[in-house]
Structure 1
């Protein structure tokens, strides 16, 4: 499955859930964790969005 803008948005929303890993969030939207980490490496804004989502999840705990 391709990492479409809709899947990116859903992935980030899942990642904001406390206790959710990137692997679990990727699975929830139907993409591989490899696709997520490849995108993170290539796309600085996506990497920042992932970091922000993780920080939100951590604060919510």
Structure 2
């Protein structure tokens, strides 16, 4: 009766979202891994300044 041209893009997006919310049909995403360890607020800054990260490069975060 209706083909995809007659349906709104919002309806199509909702259909795709409902499909991907079902874990059985979609491949799970791999977790993000860091190449270097995370810098703590009180650790020395990796830029080599000598200050703590929170007072140097982490100040604007």
**TM-score between the two structures when normalised by the length of structure 2:** 0.29
Relative contact order (C-alpha < 8 Å, sep 6+): which is higher? 1
TM-score relative to the length of structure 1: 0.29
Q: Look at both structures and tell me which one has the larger radius of gyration over its CA atoms.
A: 2
**Higher share in helix:** 1
